[in-house]
Amino acid sequence: MSKLPERLGSLKLVQQVGVGRHCQIWEAADPSGGRVAVKVIVPAISHDPAQRGFLEHELKVAAALHHPTIIRIDRLSEEGGLPHLVMEFFPHPNLKKQIQTGSEAIAPRLQRLVTEIALALDHVHGKGWVHRDVKPENVLAGPDGQVKLIDFAIAARLTGFLGRLLGGSTPPQGSPSYMSPEQIRGQALDARSDIYSFGCVLFELLTGKPPYGGAASNEILNKHVSTAIPAVDKLNPNATSAAAKLLRQLLAKNPSERPKSMREVLDQIRAIRLLERVTAG
């Protein structure tokens, strides 16, 4: 794979900060002296119209979203045959990286982290979209618990009653460790699919790992569809019984047994404690 140039138009690439689907994420300096993030298609596939389509779609979704918990996307540009999105720069690692360093540092921020992710998804759903790829890698998180939800490349329009009545319509897309049973089956989706994925993220924040693991993707997907929900309080004795009860609702196999909206989830989160004891960070 050929290297990226040092500059994309007026933007000077400073350092790579992440990797997405067939893309790299870079911190860049703009002419005003500020910092932006750049999501650029890697040169080897930069001429693939499908990859540019993902960026165009992400820009379209982001244009409808205006919330402090969601990354702002300013524009889609192309320089030297390299399509790229120019975005708000939030200089903090994603939750996956933070989880891998241990749960102790996360615990004091857990309640705010979870609340802010729920607020972000509530806003996304309120604007008529399902994210479809809610996972720790797609949540940037600051040391105070502030978050930015990112990556709307496979977001889809919320399915209304008629769409659910007629059944599924799209092939499954997403990340195996966080996909709802109905997403795995390629069925039409509504907010409850993201609610399931959110439950997977909450489970991982509490235990250090997603609810289901396996040697191959198909094994993980089959567990989402048919394996009982693991007991979070057995994996983390510090998790409250209220947190365990909430997770059983979020991770229900049948969407009708989950909360109907992120607003309902938010109300529950605000009414409970997720951890019995929190040591100040």
74 part of the active site = no
**Catalytic residue from among 122, 133, 151, 233:** 133
- Give yes or no for a contact between 40 and 53, defined as CB atoms under 8 angstroms apart: no
Q: What distance in Å separates the CA atoms of residue 276 and residue 238, rounded to the nearest whole number? A: 5
Closest among 77, 87, 216 to 152, alpha carbons compared = 87
In the chain, the DSSP E strands lie at 7-8, 11-20, 23-29, 35-41, 73-79, 82-88, 129-130, 139-141, 147-149, 156-157
Dihedrals phi, psi of 79, to nearest 5 degrees? -135, 130
Length of the chain, please? 281
Query: In degrees rounded to 5, what are phi and psi of residue 228?
Result: -60, 150
The residue written with tokens 């089959």 in the block is 222
Q: Which residues are known catalytic residues?
A: 133
